[in-house]
Structures are given as structure tokens and as C-alpha cells.
Chain A
Amino acid sequence: NTVPPQVVPGADPSARQLCFAWGPAEVLVCETLFSRAGGSCSRFWGEGRAGAAARAVTGSVAGTGEGAPSSSRVFVVRRDQDIYIQTLRKLFNESHGIFMGLQRSEEELAGKSRKAQLVQVSKNYRSVIRACMEDMHQAAVSTRDPALQGQYSTQVSILSAMELIWNLCEILFVEAAAAGPLLLRLLDWVRLHVCDVDSMVREVLSSESPSKHKLFWNVVDVFVLQGRMDEARHLLSKEASANPTSMNMYKILDDLMKKMPVPSLGNTQTLTELELKWQHWHEECQRYLQDGTFASNPHMESICKILLGDEDAILEKKELMTTWYHFLVTRLLYSHPTVRPLELRFYAQSSMDLFLAGESSPEPLDMILMAAFEFEMHQVIKECSIVLSNWWFVAHLTDLLDHCKLLQSHNLYFGSNMREFLLLEYASGLFSHHSLWQLGVDYFDHCPEYGRVYLELHIERIPLSTEQKALKVLRICEQRQMHEQVRSICKIMAMKALRNNRLGSALSWSIRAKDAAFATLISDRFLKDYCERGCFSDLDLIDNLGPSMLLSDRLTFLGKYREFHRLYGEKRFPEAARLLLTLMTAHIAPCSFWMTLLTDALPLLEQKEVIFSAEQTYELMRCLEDLTAGNPDKQKFQDDDVETTKVEMLRLALARNLARVIVKEGTVEGS
């Protein structure tokens, strides 16, 4: 049962020492600087699961100075190749819907209705598997690439095996069929899954005179082995009408077959009644056989022996049964139709031994089915995990069994139970896919212990190629109060926008994250642009900031400053003046901008009409003095002619304004 180790293509441990690091969904393998001393070569044991898809990413190692830096490669080894198979996407998507429905389904339903509900869920999963099988089969038939065809065919057989196992688990665990119905379910199971004989059956039935067909008796045997009495009898009647000499024999056999007691699904008879009837019928068959009734027709005699449950007679038809579990069910049908679930294990083991008879050894599938017959659920899951390359099957099956309350907490070393472990593994695999990760989110949500932590780690690694994708990721984080991740994602998007000169987008992202620091950054950019160009860019944004202006002081300043310009443009000077002053005195404006603001005040001071009141003028003067006094490097300041001129002009304008306003305010207005 061991999976052969996979070699990472291109990584050669004999040439360079390799190091590796585990990521959330992949393994990074890196070539180090150190080359192998001596000739010892050790194979790299890749990820134990089959299907390691390695992608070499060329990178260079920074030169250490010890010699020429050589380029190293980093390999990204993904553990799950299956999620990239196009045709399996339907399986993942549909099963996600079923999974969610199951998690949300009412637990208050008790007893029978709950069981019926769970059986329905199981059936839904199986029908999805079958639909996928159908698609895969179509793909295999229609493709011309032989490699692809091989891959699809393999997938079809894997899916088929999965459905076989799931179906058995449904019968034994979910539905927990009791003695009686158990046999009927097993018969259905066999009929559904042993299809190697279907083409033969079709051939005989569609031929002109079936009873003359050379495979006629084979088909009759198949029907008998599968308990399909009506169909067997129908075929036999054709033989009888073609061969009147055996009419007598045929009538007796037909009668026996008709009378055979079988368990019924409804509660029309108890097990004891059935056993009694069956005993009588069995004895009747025995009598006919011993009387030599069928002696002249070996086919019919063999059928009678089969009806009597003669193991050798049944084993003779090995090729028609093809599998040991078919043999098991046939045996049970004809020797212990009222078999109880817990008795199955003994019959299963002996059936397998008899059928294989030392010619071949059991395959993994056989071991899994055997574990199921032995009601060793944990064993089933363990074996499936080893054999299958993808966690899909075990994760969903275990979840369903857990909902049936069948799994005791099977503590693994990190303390969470098996169901959660499998779901975490499955969902982690989904996260390495560029689009199926959305399904993974819901699975993490339903892992109570570690789901959130896993989600937090994975969600930050999703590449955000478009804004729409970023919005979806953000929505997921916000719904789960993952504030750290929200902030981090918004910062990333805002930075990207800023680099691309999309200041409005950047602001939009900072508003979403309520990131005041970034809003300040963006405002500084705007102000810088203004200082350099003398006009505002993106007026549609600044003019329409609305309440988001309050996110950061700098942003508020930007909005108000722009408002000042607007007021000035509309010639509403007193209001403009008031606003300008407020900007400085209320310390909304950054100190670096005060000079600009004061310079903006100049035209207002030079107006014909006096705008600033005395009070306001004193304020302005104070601001100017604060500004010039606060400057430590007076020498530098004085050297800069432009600056000095500006300050002087301002002082002059302020003084003049003061003079005019004192006069104006002192004058008593004429009535």
C-alpha cells in the first residue's frame, strides 16, 4: 500500500544541498549555496501524496562575496494536483453546496426523519460523483490526446471506486440497514456496480432467439447470482418453449424460483417468519435435487445447487461474478438471507479467502471494503486517505459520518478531532487554487477549533489581481471580524492605487479600512501636487469628500483648503477670510503649510475693501511671528531673498490692513 516517492523534477540533491520550508499549501524547496561534498546522493522524498507538481522559479541568491554568486532555484511543490483537473470542478462545487446544506440542516429532527435526511444527503453526494464520472467519461471518449485520455480513464475508475465505497458506507453506516433490508440493499449495490457482464447481457437479450445464443446460460446464471429472479425466469421460459422436452424440469425450477422467500422492505413479516419459510423452501429444493429431477440438464442442476447455497457451485461461476464481494452477497442471498450487520465480517473474510484462493492478493480497494464490512470506520477512512490522492472523499464522508454521530472523538496529536483534521486538509488544498479558494472559506468556517486560524493565514495569500477580487476577499474578512486582514488588504490595494496615481481609489480603500494614517498620506500627495503645480488635481474627488473628510486631520485640511479656494473664486471674501484664519488658528493646517496660507491671505489683505477685522489681523500677525520666530536657522532664512521678501510684504500688508481696520471700526457709522 505504499505510495512510491515522487521526485521533484529538476532538483538534484547530488549536486547541491537542498533545504525546504513548509507553507500553508505547498512546500518550498530551495537550492542552497552548498554543494555536495563527496559523492553521496540522497533522493529527495517529496510530499508523500502522489502528484507533486513542481514549478521552478528562477531567483538569484545574493552574492556572499565568497565567489561568484550562482543563481539558485526555488521549487514550489504543490501537494494537490487534482484540483486543477477541469472536470473535477463540478465535483468540488456541487459537493460544497451539499456540505453547506448538511451543516445548516436542522438537528432537531430526531430518529427516522433525521436518518432519512442524512441518507438523502449521502445519495446527493453519490449522484454528484456519478455525474462527474459521466462527464469524465465523455471527456475521455471525445479527446484525441492519448495522455489525456489515459488520465481521464484513470479518473473514471477512481471515481467509480469512490462511489462503490461510499455506497457501501451509506448502507452499513448511514442507513444502518438492519437484518432483512440489509440483504436487499447489498443486492442493489452489487447490481449497480458489477457491470462487466452488462454488455454480454445486452447481447443475448437483443439477439433473435436468445435461447440459442451460446452465452444464454451465462446470462441466466448472472441473473440468478444477482438474485434477479423475474428476469431469470423470463429467459428460462424462452428456453422451455424452444425445448419442450425439458418442460417438466423447467416448471419445477420456475416454481422454486418464484417461491423463494426474500426479505421485504415493509414490515409485512418478521425475521423469524422469514427464516421459517426459507427453511421450508430450502428443504424443498434439496429434495428436488436429491431426487435427480435436474440430472439430465447440467445447467439447471447447477442453478438448483446455487439456489441451495452450494459454495462450490457458486464459485464455479467466478468469472460471472468478477469480485469477491459479489460472491459474498450471492452466498448470503442463498444461505443466510437474514444476515445481521455484525455477522457480515465473518462472511466477508471467508468470501474473500475463498474467492481469491491464494491466486491473487487483495488490493487496496478490497481492504477498504473489508474494513467497511467489519464496521471499522476509522480503518476505512485511514485506508482511503492513504490510497486517494485528494482529501475530497475522506473529508466529506467523515463529515457525514460525524453528523450521524458515529465517530467518537479520535484525538490526534494537535488535539482536534478527525473530522476537523480532514476538512482542514481538504480546504487548505482548495486554497492553492486561484478560484476554488472561495469554497475553502466555508469549510474553514465549520472547523470550530482551528478553522479561523487557518483562514487567517490563507486569506492573506490570495493574489489580488483585480479590485473585484479584493472586494470579495475583504467582504469575507469583514463578515468574520478579521480586522487585521482587512487593514492589511486595504493597505496593499491603497498602495497599489497610489503608485498608479489613482488617488481617488487610494482614498476609497483607506476609507473602507478607516485608515487615518493612509488618508494623511494621500492628502500630503495632493498638497504636494498643489504646491508644485499651483492647482489641484482630481477636483472631482476633493470637492466631494463629504463626511469622509473627517477620517484624518490632513484630509480635513485638504477639503477645507479647497473650500477656501472655491469661496475665493466665488468672491465670498469675508467667509474665505474666516475660513483661512480658522485653518491656522484651529491647527488644522500643518505648520509646513502656514507660509502658503499666509501668502494666500495677501490678496485678501490688498483688497480695496477691508476684509479682515482688527481681531483677525492681530491673529494673522501672531501666526506670522510664530512662524518666523519658530524658525531655528535664522541665518538660512535671511539668506533666502524670496522668503524674506514674502515675510516683509506680509508684515507690510498686515500693518496697512490693521491701520485701515482700526480707522474703520473706530468710525461711528452715520445713521
Chain B
Amino acid sequence: QDNKISIWSAGDLGNAGLNGEYNGEPHLLCDIQHNGDVMDMQFLDQERIVVASSTGTVTVFRHHQNNQTLSANHRWEKAHYHVNQYTSCGGAACTGVVCNNPEIVTVGEDGRINLFRADQKDAIRTIDNADSSTLHAVTFLRTTEILTVNSIGQLKIWDLRQQRNEPSQIFSLAGDRVPLHCVDRHPNQQHIVATGGQDGMLSIWDIRQGTMPVSLLNAHEAEMWEVHFHPSDPDHLFTCSEDGSLWHWDTSTNISEKPSFLHQGGRSTAYLSHSTINQSVVSAWLSNDPTKDRMEITNLIPNQTLSVNSLDVLGPCLVYGTDAEAIYVNRQLFA
């Protein structure tokens, strides 16, 4: 299999054509071979990217901007592995990676959590058998605490300062233990966490209280692969799914002033009043009154066919990739 890590240029932001439109498609700057499927990746800093592989290896690549090349800077082989009763260690896929320079946390199908530091050869800390099922995603809650989600529908908080190998808190969905595939934390209000499940359901959690989600929103028709709060505008949330859709969740508009059917832009929009439990929180994500705060949900993909596996959003730009081997860049997200 030929898998590559590639860096693309999506066009100069300042280089608008005569009509004010961006010209030029994204073009390839450089690429490098990668062993195994790329399960997850994240920028560590301006130049370095951490990549999680299906072989269980975690690699740090450096992007040399002066001559536009990529090189493998550091590699942790067998960061994730299975100990099989019949054979010796086999690799286990590393399913999620999150960075907070210089720390890197990875999780995998082996239920292991690793804490690495960028230039150190061995892991700073490893929690073996942190989970009896597969850990699908990880994100930082605070600088010393992480959140993980697993395939039996649990959201766990781990305190990395403590030496014990137990989570400090476990949250789970009521009802069927539907696997959770992705997690993201609100950029400003750290108690608000969003997770996406195998049944396409979006759950909003308030981790200060209770062990169950605050809102359950029926979203996609298949696995939700990624969920992201917009980093600078967190009233906006984005989710993508195996069913080929990418949804933009917008709680910013206060609809009590505006008639609900007249809104511009979206191709298929729906309104949801969400059932909530908690009353006293300020954020629109946790709010209760269905008549006052409604959410606008827009599907950003007109002709959906194959799965949207991954997305990222920054400023006015949205980028997503599909199983049809295509990458889409939308540079005018809020136009």
C-alpha cells in the first residue's frame, strides 16, 4: 500500500482574482511515504506534525519550509501493540493523537494511553490496559487532564499528574453502550464536551455534573467520525460522518428576532429543539428553552456519496476529506 503524508497549498489568502474569487486549486507542495494507514494527525508546532499509524507507530514529521520537503524527525515504533497469547507482540492501530507542545498523547486499539515528549526517545508515561476496549479518540481537557472515548460508549477523564492507572471520572450514555468515535472540548468553556457515536448521535456533556450527557442530538445516519468546535467561534460546531454528510451546527443566531424560515445559505436545514436536563448554564450548547434558542443545522455537502472521514476548521476555512479520495477546501465558511 502506498500511503503518503502530503502538504498542500490551498492558495494565497491575499491573492484574490479580478472577481474577488480565489483562483487556483490546492496544489501539492511535498509528500513522504508513510507506513500503514494514517489514523490521525495533528500539528505539534509550526513545523512538526505528529502522525498516528495503523501499524501502531507514532511518527513526528518535520516540514522544511525553505525547500518544501518533509522528513521523518522522530519515531516511536510499537507505541501500540497487542500481546497475543499465541504469537509475540503484534502492532495495534494507534487511533488518536493530541498535542500540547511539547507533550503528545496517543491512544489505540490496544486500550493503551501513551504520553510522549517531543524529543525524548521513550514514553514519559504509559498506562497499559487503561481500557478493556478500543480507545477511539483523545483530547486535552486541561493541561494535565485528558478525555478519552471508547468502543463501549464511555467518556473518561484521566489525570496525568496522578500515578494511579485509573480514570478520575467515567461518564457513559444511558441505554445501549453505543461506541463513541470522537470527542472535542469547547475552546473557552472547559466543562462543555461534545462526543460523536457510532449511531451518528451527537452528545453534549457538562462534565461538572452528572455522569450522563446533557443533550442528545440525532444527527447522522452512520458513524460520526469527527466533531470539532470552531476554535475562535465556538458557537459553531462541525461534524462529519460515514453517511457522507458534513454538518454545521450553529447556535449563534438568536432566532427570536428573525422568522425561522427565512434564513439564507443552507441547502438542507433543519431545526431541532433539544431535550436538556440542566437549567442554569449560560452557553447556548447547554441551554434549555427550546423556543428561545434554536440551532441551525446545515449540510455542507450537496451531492454526498462516500464517507467524509475527517475535517478541520480554522478561521473562515473548512477542510474535509472523503473516501472518494478527494479533499475539499471551503475558504468562505461564514460568507
A interface with B by C-beta (< 8 Å): 86, 89-90, 93, 96-97, 100-101, 434-435, 438-439, 442, 465-468, 471-472, 475, 479, 499-505, 507-508, 511, 537-538, 540-541, 544-548
Contact = CB atoms under 8 A, between A and B. Distances in A.
Contacts of B198: 471
Contacts of B131: 504, 540
A380 B195 CA distance: 54
A508 B85 contact: no
B167 interface: yes
Interface in B63-93: 82-86, 90, 92-93
Contacts of A504: 111, 131-134, 150-152
B323 interface: yes
Nearest to A104: B303
B113 to A, nearest CB: 13
A503 B129 CA distance: 11
B177 A546 contact: yes
A505 B303 CA distance: 35
A89 B167 CA distance: 45
B299 interface: no
A595 to B, nearest CB: 27
B303 A97 contact: yes
A435 B303 CA distance: 21
A145 B124 CA distance: 45
Contact of B83 (A90, A465, A472, A501): A501
A442 B305 contact: yes
B184 interface: no
A100 B92 CA distance: 36
Contact of B325 (A93, A434, A499): A93
B39 interface: yes
B1 interface: yes
Nearest to A441: B306
A607 B275 CA distance: 48
B84 A500 contact: yes
Given A504-B150, A541-B132, A541-B133, A499 B85 contact: yes
A508 B150 CA distance: 10
Interface of B: 1-2, 37, 39, 54, 82-86, 90, 92-93, 95, 109-111, 129, 131-134, 150-154, 156, 167, 170, 172, 174-177, 179, 198, 222-223, 242, 303, 305-307, 323-326
Nearest to A442: B305
Contact of A438 (B85, B86, B92, B306): B306
A410 B156 CA distance: 61
A545 B132 CA distance: 12
B176 A503 contact: no
B172 A544 contact: yes
Nearest to B154: A544
B326 A93 contact: yes
A502 B223 CA distance: 22
Contacts of A544: 152, 154, 170, 172, 177
A124 to B, nearest CB: 12
Given A466-B39, A546-B176, 20 more contacts: A89-B325, A97-B324, A100-B305, A438-B323, A472-B307, A472-B323, A500-B84, A501-B82, A502-B132, A503-B132, A504-B131, A504-B134, A504-B152, A505-B134, A537-B132, A541-B152, A546-B172, A547-B175, A547-B176, A548-B177
A508 B152 contact: yes
A546 B307 contact: no
A548 B37 contact: no
Nearest to B305: A100
Contacts of A466: 37, 39, 54, 93, 109
Contacts of B176: 511, 546-548
Contacts of A547: 175-177
Contacts of B170: 540, 544
B175 A500 contact: no
A313 B92 CA distance: 74
Contacts of B110: 500, 502
A502 B84 contact: no
Contacts of B305: 96-97, 100, 442
21 contacts: A89-B325, A90-B325, A434-B1, A439-B324, A442-B305, A466-B39, A468-B39, A500-B82, A500-B84, A500-B92, A501-B83, A502-B132, A504-B150, A504-B151, A511-B177, A544-B154, A545-B177, A546-B153, A546-B174, A546-B175, A548-B176
A475 B325 contact: no
A382 to B, nearest CB: 31
A100 to B, nearest CB: 5
A119 B46 CA distance: 48
Contacts of A90: 325
Given A442-B305, A475-B223, A544-B154, A508 B133 contact: yes
Nearest to A506: B133
Given A466-B39, A504-B151, A471 B83 contact: no
B326 A540 contact: no
A508 B174 CA distance: 16
A662 B174 CA distance: 43
Contacts of B39: 466, 468
B84 A499 contact: yes
A500 B154 CA distance: 21
Nearest to B130: A540
B177 A505 contact: no
B132 A538 contact: yes
